[in-house]
Chain A
Amino acid sequence: MEGDIAQMGQFIGAGLASVGMGGAAVGVGNVVGNYLAGALRNPSAAGGQTATMFIGIAFAEALGIFSFLVALLLMFAV
């Protein structure tokens, strides 16, 4: 295992950036869980709100993808 301290910082930074993806997991789970809770209470209104759920998932997921991108940039672009 060789390398300089900058490379070590790169790897540690990439690992730290990946932690952000856990936040996206919590966010997406929250969106879908709340959708399901609402859908089970009022199933007749559930069908019309699937599109809204996917938009919510997309917004929550985007920030996790950003942290994944930071990790990738640290690994391959810096």
Chain B
Amino acid sequence: MATEAHGESEGLVFHPMDQFIIKPLAGDGPVGLFTITNVTLWMALTCLAVFALMVLGTSARSVIPGRLQSVAELAYGFIRKMVEDVAGKDALPYFPYIMTLFMFIVFANFLGLIPGSFTSTSHIGVTAVMAMMVFIGVTVLGFVKNGASFLSLFWISSAPLVLRPILALIEVISYFVRPVSHSIRLAGNMMAGHAVMKVFAAFAPLVLISTGVGLVVTPLSILAITAVYGLEVLVSFIQAYVFTILTCVYLKDALHPHH
């Protein structure tokens, strides 16, 4: 992504967008369809982390849960309640998929916060696949469950008759913008937050170059990294939550399209 736009600039120690470059794990060859890259590695680690928490953590099935088991149970109860509250009781058959989405995103976001790691959800390619799966799945589900009356989602019967065609047009457009905003929201938030952290990180070693300005800038930027990191921990969770809750909202529209 950021390859030719920088390189000769001497202002920053490294470019803040360098962390998002996809590179093969072994060698410097081109990235093909089946090349094992750093994205592959960190997505695999994400899956392993989810497996460790949800399968190994709950394998004891003790009546009095241990630490891992209670975290897993909390996550399960949290998402189940969200699906039930937002999408309704008849959305519970789709709960496993939503749970999978949430656990994957939240672990990908949190693993990306480890210094030197790679955030797989900061790439629109990764989030777009998840958003398109939700979009296609929800649309197919709407037509399967409601037949042609799913289209009444776009035909708002409570509005005046004159306005309805215009509203239908707006509703159709906003329906098709859903996967775009759904994916870009997550990727953009992750990318922006990590870029901000790396901007401050690039200013931090300024004291090594110039002791005059550096004495002021270095402590300030280290403080800023700490503060932004704290914010990023919050944002990582909230964005996973928002992605999941919007999936529930779209699912509700598919199950109950009548306004």
A residues neighboring B (CB under 8 Å): 51, 54-55, 57-58, 61-62, 65-66, 68-69, 72, 75-76
- The DSSP consensus for interface residues of chain A is helix
- Whether B82 and A75, one on each chain, are in contact in the complex, defined by CB atoms closer than 8 angstroms, is no
- Whether B246 and A65, one on each chain, are in contact in the complex, defined by CB atoms closer than 8 angstroms, is no
Whether B168 sits at the interface, judged by CB under 8 Å, is: no
Given the interface pairs A51-B82, A65-B184, the reply to whether A76 lies near B245 with Cβ below 8 Å is: no
User: Which of B2, B17, B189 interacts with A65 by CB under 8 Å?
Assistant: B189
**What residues of B have a CB within 8 angstroms of the CB of A55 in the complex?**
242, 245-246, 249
**What residues of B have a CB within 8 angstroms of the CB of A58 in the complex?**
185, 242, 245-246
**What residues of A have a CB within 8 angstroms of the CB of B242 in the complex?**
54-55, 57-58
Whether B144 sits at the interface, judged by CB under 8 Å, is: no
A10 closest partner in B (C-beta): B5
Whether B86 sits at the interface, judged by CB under 8 Å, is: yes
CB within 8 Å of A: which B143-177 residues: none
**What residues of B have a CB within 8 angstroms of the CB of A76 in the complex?**
1-2, 5, 17
Query: CA A61 – CA B181 in complex, angstroms?
Result: 10
A to B contact number (C-beta, < 8 Å): 40
Q: Kindly provide the distance from the CB of A52 to the nearest chain B CB, expressed in whole angstroms.
A: 9
B124 closest partner in A (C-beta): A69
Q: Kindly provide the distance from the CB of B198 to the nearest chain A CB, expressed in whole angstroms.
A: 14
Encode contact with A along B235-249: 1 for CB under 8 Å, 0 otherwise: 000100110011001
B residues neighboring A (CB under 8 Å): 1-2, 5, 17, 82, 85-86, 181, 184-185, 188-189, 191-192, 238, 241-242, 245-246, 249
**What residues of A have a CB within 8 angstroms of the CB of B189 in the complex?**
61, 65
Q: Kindly provide the distance from the CB of A34 to the nearest chain B CB, expressed in whole angstroms.
A: 18
Interface centre among A54, A58, A65, A75 (most CB of B within 10 A): A58
Q: Kindly provide the distance from the CB of B182 to the nearest chain A CB, expressed in whole angstroms.
A: 8
- Whether B245 and A68, one on each chain, are in contact in the complex, defined by CB atoms closer than 8 angstroms, is no
**What residues of B have a CB within 8 angstroms of the CB of A75 in the complex?**
5
**What residues of A have a CB within 8 angstroms of the CB of B185 in the complex?**
58, 61-62, 65
User: Which of B82, B86, B192, B246 interacts with A68 by CB under 8 Å?
Assistant: B192
Q: Kindly provide the distance from the CB of A25 to the nearest chain B CB, expressed in whole angstroms.
A: 13
**What residues of A have a CB within 8 angstroms of the CB of B181 in the complex?**
62, 65-66
Query: CA A55 – CA B249 in complex, angstroms?
Result: 9
A59 closest partner in B (C-beta): B181
Query: CA A68 – CA B249 in complex, angstroms?
Result: 25
Query: CA A51 – CA B184 in complex, angstroms?
Result: 20
Given pairs A61-B185, A65-B185, A65-B192, 5 additional interface contacts (CB within 8 A): A54-B242, A65-B189, A72-B191, A76-B1, A76-B17
**What residues of A have a CB within 8 angstroms of the CB of B17 in the complex?**
76
A64 closest partner in B (C-beta): B188
Q: Kindly provide the distance from the CB of B29 to the nearest chain A CB, expressed in whole angstroms.
A: 23
**What residues of A have a CB within 8 angstroms of the CB of B241 in the complex?**
54
- Whether A69 and B246, one on each chain, are in contact in the complex, defined by CB atoms closer than 8 angstroms, is no
**What residues of A have a CB within 8 angstroms of the CB of B188 in the complex?**
65, 68-69
Query: CA A58 – CA B188 in complex, angstroms?
Result: 12
